[in-house]
Amino acid sequence: MKPKSLHDAALAVVRRLHEHGHTAYFAGGCVRDMLLGREPKDFDVATDAQPPRILELFRLTRRVGAQFGVVLVRQGRFWIEVATFRTDLSYSDGRHPDAVRFATPEEDAQRRDFTINGMFFDPLAERIIDFVGGQEDLTARRLRAIGEPRHRFTEDHLRVLRAVRFASAYGCTIDPPTWQAICEMAPMIRGVSAERIREELTKSLSGPGRLDAARLLAGAGLLEHLWEGATWSALHVETALATIEHLPAEAGFEAVLAILLLDRGVEEVHRICRMLTCSNRTREHVAWLVRHKDDLAEPAGLTLADLKLLMQSRHFGDLLVQVEALCRTTGAPMTTLDTILTRVAAIPPDEIRPTPFISGDDLKAMGLREGPAFSQILDRLYYAQLNNELRSRAAAMRLAEELVANELRA
């Protein structure tokens, strides 16, 4: 029968390996999550079967890292990563092992990053196999590197950032020797690819533990190494952390990153997002929030048209969230936000983005050629329409004819 869940697919892999004389366990993060009562996002299987044997036992496979003992096995619609117990040899690039040696389960556990990620689970016997004290640390909500922390971080520099993610996501305090090594070795992340740094930041700053993650990034001195030329004033870090604390639970990574970058110019924000290999969508989102950070500061002086133009953006909700968080952080009166919300509620939905009374074809029919003036006149007419200064196409046509005539005479 085809497995109905990821767990069932992984269990089927373990069972088949066991039936053919091999040891096989669930490994790593799925064991941690099961012990916490959380639904694992994936299930990895560790086994003493080597890649050729795995390929022999399973019909649908992908050789994703057979040189390191890793094969993907398909069960139904699910792909399960199956890895041979191994110990990693030298790490020349500070990220990946140069080679591996197939080993025992205990040796495999000793090569992993943190104790809470170093446990195995035998789903057939329903027992935990823990060579590294992971259960005790998980119960105590303690993040501890396996073995000597500096050695673990020297092997794979990304582990410094992964420590922040795991500690914040699982509500862990970081064991003092591990924390000291993180602080001392923070500059190593400069050797990690920008893409991997951004991936870790996205995971760390998107969830409910984002404030803890931001505090750890600041406390460990990691912020100044996230991209080339990163600089942070103590005041800005303090304000940013206080503001992040007031974000609602559903706020996403872009809202958090915008708050971290609120003291930067818009062009610098674009540059930083490019260095972090953010998607164009994320970059524009963050830059828009930074560009408009002060637009709602004086709501009484904001024109109706300007408010509607802001409301037309899909990021307007995040801007309101940002305003509220900043008000709570700085102690500014909440009447500012109340005024904005009152004005927003008074605008009928169909008036936020109405169809323009005047189109480019209208201007062409009046004899105006495309160019800077063409766009400026269209923008001026639409602004007047949003501001309720033009309430009909007839009124808009009269103003358009006047503006075009003036331009043609110039």
Cβ pair 223, 237 in contact under 8 A: yes
Which residues sit opposite 88 in a β-bridge?
100
Tell me how many degrees the CA angle 247-248-252 measures, rounded to the nearest 5: 80
Q: Among 275, 307, 341, where does a domain finish?
A: 275
Per-residue pLDDT of 294-315, as tens digits, reads 999 888 889 999 999 999 999 9
Q: Which residues contact 103 (CB under 8 A, 6 or more apart)?
A: 85, 86, 87
Task: Identify any residues that bridge with 44 across adjacent strands, giving them in sequence order.
Answer: 27, 81
Query: What is the model's pLDDT at position 95?
Result: 54
The answer as to whether 267 is a domain residue is yes
| CATH code, 69 | 3.30.460.10
Bridge-based pairing state of the strands 70-75 and 24-27: unpaired
User: Is the domain of 177 the same as that of 208?
Assistant: yes
Would you state the pLDDT for residue 409? 84
Whole-number pLDDT of residue 94: 52
- Do 257 and 303 sit in the same domain of this protein? no
Pair (185, 255) in one structural domain: yes
pLDDT one-digit tens code per residue, 390-404: 999 999 999 999 999
CB 63 within 8 A of CB 56: no
The pLDDT tens digits of the residues spanning 192-210 come to: 999 999 999 999 999 889 9
DSSP codes, 233-294 = -HHHHHHHHHHHHTS-TT--HHHHHHHHTTTS-HHHHHHHHHHTT--HHHHHHHHHHHHTTT
Q: Is residue 285 part of a domain?
A: no
Report helix, strand or coil for 26: strand
The reported pTM is 0.88
CATH of the domain at 264: 1.10.3090.10
Please report which confidence band the pLDDT of residue 332 belongs to, taking 50, 70 and 90 as the band edges. confident
- What is the structure's pLDDT at 235? 94
145 and 117 in a common domain? no
Domain match, 177 and 145 both: yes
Tens digits of per-residue pLDDT, 208-240?
899 999 999 999 999 999 999 999 999 999 999
Beta bridge partners of 84: 47
Position 215, amino acid? R
The whole-angstrom separation of Cα 202 and Cα 278 is 10
Secondary structure of 354-386 as H, E, C letters: CCCCCCHHHHHHCCCCCCHHHHHHHHHHHHHHH
Residue 176 token pair? 């003092």
Q: Are 174 and 268 part of one and the same domain?
A: yes
pLDDT band at 90 (very low <50, low <70, confident <90, very high): low
Q: With beta carbons less than 8 A apart as the criterion, state whether 403 and 380 touch.
A: yes
335 & 380 share domain: no
Rounded to an integer, what distance in angstroms lies between the CA atom of residue 84 and that of residue 388?
70
DSSP secondary structure code for residue 114 in this structure: B
One domain for residues 243 and 319: no
Q: Give the domain extent around 325.
A: 292-353
What is the reported pLDDT for 356? 97
pLDDT per position as a tens digit, 276-299: 999 999 999 999 999 999 999 888
Residue type, 186: A
SS3 37: coil
Whether residue 52 sits in one domain with residue 152: no
Bridge partner residues of 174 (DSSP):
143
Q: Which two tokens stand for residue 141?
A: 């909500």
Look at residue 324 and tell me if it is in a domain.
Answer: yes
**Quick one: 16 and 117 in the same domain?**
yes
Residue 251: inside a domain: yes
Confirm whether 240 is domain-assigned. yes
DSSP string, 190-240: GGS-HHHHHHHHHHHHHSTTHHHHHHHHHHTT-GGGSSTT----HHHHHHH
Give me 305's structure tokens: 């048209």
My answer on whether 75 and 104 are in the same domain is yes
Cα separation, 142 vs 84, in Å, equals: 28
122 strand-pairing partners:
127
Q: How many domains does the chain have?
A: 4
CA-based nearest residue to 216, from 163, 138, 150, 269: 163
User: Would residue 310 count as lying in a domain?
Assistant: yes
* Shared-domain flag, residues 1 and 126: yes
Quick one: pLDDT band at residue 35, thresholds 50, 70, 90? very high
Task: Give the pairing type, strands 24-27 and 120-122.
Answer: antiparallel
Encoded tokens for 200: 């870790």
* pLDDT surpassing 70 at residue 146: yes
Q: Token pair of 15, please?
A: 């069972």
Which of 103, 133, 163 finishes a domain?
133
| C-alpha to C-alpha distance for 331 and 75, rounded to whole angstroms | 56
Select from 248, 275, 302 the last residue of a domain.
275
Query: Measured between alpha carbons, how far is 250 from 66 in angstroms, rounded to an integer?
Result: 40
